[in-house]
């Protein structure tokens, strides 16, 4: 996840819940049925987890992304 945070140049909130995908489905269902009014209500439910912060230099990130795009282009 550190690499993802670096490439996105953004923080990632890693959930403490192993089945975070199932939780996400439940939360969206709660939004659609009116259990929660908006995503701010969902944010208040977060109780912990690790926040992974971007550490890689933006220039290095761009270099790696260009390399990845080049490799994908060659695959076609």
Per-residue pLDDT of the chain (76 residues; tens, 9 = 90+): 999 999 999 999 888 888 888 988 999 999 999 999 999 999 888 777 899 999 999 999 999 999 999 999 999 9
Cα end-to-end span (Å), the chain: 28
Range(s) of the domain holding residue 20? 2-75
Q: Report the SS3 class of residue 44.
A: coil
Q: Report the number of distinct structural domains present in the chain.
A: 1
């Amino acid at each position: 996840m550190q690499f993802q945070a670096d490439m996105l140049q953004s923080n990632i909130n890693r959930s403490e819940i192993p089945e975070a995908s199932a939780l996400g489905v439940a939360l969206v269902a709660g939004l659609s049925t009116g259990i929660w009014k908006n995503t701010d209500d969902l944010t208040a439910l977060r109780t912990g987890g690790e926040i992974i912060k971007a550490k890689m230099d933006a220039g290095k990130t761009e270099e790696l992304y260009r390399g990845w795009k080049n490799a994908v282009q060659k695959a076609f």
